[in-house]
Amino acid sequence: MFSRCSASLTRSAAQGYRRFQSTLVVAEHNNETLNPITGNAVTAAKKLGGDVTVLVVGTKVGPVSEAAAKLDGVAKVLVAEGDAYKGLLAEAVTPLVLATQNQFKFTHIVAGATAFGKAVLPRIAAKLDVSPISEIIGVKSPDTFVRTVYAGNAIQTIKSKDPVKVLTVRGTNFEPAGSGGSGKVEKAPEGDFASKTTEYVSQELTKSDRPSLTAAKIIISGGRGMKSGDNFKMLYDLADKWGAAVGASRAAVDAGYVPNDLQIGQTGKIVAPELYIAIGISGAIQHLAGMKDSKTIVAINKDPEAPIFQVADYGLVADLFKAVPEINEKC
C-alpha cells in the first residue's frame, strides 16, 4: 500500500519535472548558413521534453537566426551579434551562455558534437560546476543518456546527477529537425563578453564543391592503400559522378595524401551515410568507430584478411588500382 502510494508520487513528480524541462541549443554557423547539425541537436532537444530555445551568436546572425527560427520545435531564438564573437572563441561564447543561463535557467544546454561544440560546451559546464556528457547517441529520459565509449566498442547508459545537463549530440544519431517552425527572435543578454586572452587570427578551410562529410549520402574513403595523394584523384572523379563526399583513414591523412579534416574515425569525424565505400582501408578499430553505423558498407581491398571485410555488406577482394578505374569507367 505504502509502496504503491510512493511509486505513484514519484511518477507524478517525474511528470511534473518533465513538464518544466527547457533546453538551450547553441547554434553552429559560419555567419551565412546554419550548420545542419544544429537541426539534429534540436531533434535531440525535443526528446528531452519542454521548450527549445536556440542561441545564435556571431558577427553576423541575421540569416542564420531566421533559419533557426524555422526549425520545427524551436520556440525562441536568442541572438547575440558583435565583433566580440569573431571566430566563435570559447572564451567569448562561454560568458554569453552563462549570462543567458542566468536569466532563463535552462535544465539542458545542448550543441552538436562538432569541433565547435566540443571546444565550447565543456568550458560552459565547468563554469556551471556540472559534468558534461559528450556525443550522446540517445536520450532515455531527461537525465539518462546513451553514448559510446572505447571507440564505439561499448555503449554506455549514464544517469546524470547534476542540476543542469550539458550535452553534445552526435549528429548522425538524430534526424534533422524539419522546417515548419516559427520561433520568436529576441535579443540575448548583452554584456562585455569579448575574450581578453584569446584572439582569432585566421582560418584555412579546405575548399570543395562536394557535399560535406557529415551531410553526404555517399562517402568514398581512401586509406594507406591509395599510395599517394595524386591517386586520390580517382576517388574525387568517382565522387563527382555520384555526388559523394571523399573521406580518409588516419593513415592516409598522416601520410599527407589528404588534409586532416577528411579523417573519419574515433578522433576524426563520425559519419553514417547511406553508402560508405572504403578503398584501401584495412579497418582498424579507430577507423571503424567513425563509420560502422553507415547503412551499407562496401570494402575494396586486396587483402582478404583485412578487418574491414568483417563489417562490409559487400566486399571486393581486388587491387584498387584496377577496380576503381573499372568502376569509374562503367558507371
Partner 1 sequence: MSRVLVGVKRVIDYAVKIRVKPDKSGVVTEGVKHSMNPFDEIAVEEAVKLKEKKIASEVVAVSVGPTQAQEVLRTALAMGADRGIHIEVTGKEYDLLQPIHVSKILAKLAQDEKVDLVILGKQAIDDDCNQTAQMTAAMLDWPQAVFASKVDKDGDALTVVREVDGGLETIKAKLPAVISADLRLNTPRYATLPNIMKAKKKPIKKVSAKDLGVDTTPRIEIVSVEDPPVRQAGSVLPDVDTLLAKLRDGGHIK
Residues 70-89 contacting partner 1, CB under 8 A = 87, 89
Residue 237 burial (C-beta neighbours within 10 Å; 0-12, 13-18, 19+): middle
Residue from 23, 94, 231, 282 touching partner 1 (CB under 8 A): that is 94
The one segment of 47-55, 90-98, 99-107, 229-237 that binds partner 1 by CB under 8 A: 90-98
CB atoms near residue 222 (< 10 Å): 30
Residue from 158, 185, 215, 272 touching partner 1 (CB under 8 A): that is 158
Total binding residues toward partner 1, as defined by CB under 8 A: 89
Within 14-43, which residues bind partner 1 (CB under 8 A)?
A: none
Residue from 132, 171, 225, 290 touching partner 1 (CB under 8 A): that is 132
Q: For residues 23 and 60, what is the distance between their CA atoms, to the nearest angstrom? A: 23
Q: For residues 123 and 193, what is the distance between their CA atoms, to the nearest angstrom? A: 14
Residue from 174, 232, 242, 257 touching partner 1 (CB under 8 A): that is 242
Contact between 259 and partner 1 by CB under 8 A: the answer reads: yes
Contact between 135 and partner 1 by CB under 8 A: the answer reads: yes
Residue 118 beta carbon to partner 1: minimum distance, rounded to whole angstroms:
5
Contact between 266 and partner 1 by CB under 8 A: the answer reads: yes
Residue 136 burial (C-beta neighbours within 10 Å; 0-12, 13-18, 19+): buried
Residue 207 beta carbon to partner 1: minimum distance, rounded to whole angstroms:
9
Q: What are phi and psi of 34, to 5 degrees?
A: -80, 130
Residue from 12, 15, 33, 144 touching partner 1 (CB under 8 A): that is 144
Residue 4 burial (C-beta neighbours within 10 Å; 0-12, 13-18, 19+): exposed
Contact between 165 and partner 1 by CB under 8 A: the answer reads: no
Cβ-based neighbours of 326, under 8 Å, separated by 6 or more: none
Contact between 102 and partner 1 by CB under 8 A: the answer reads: no
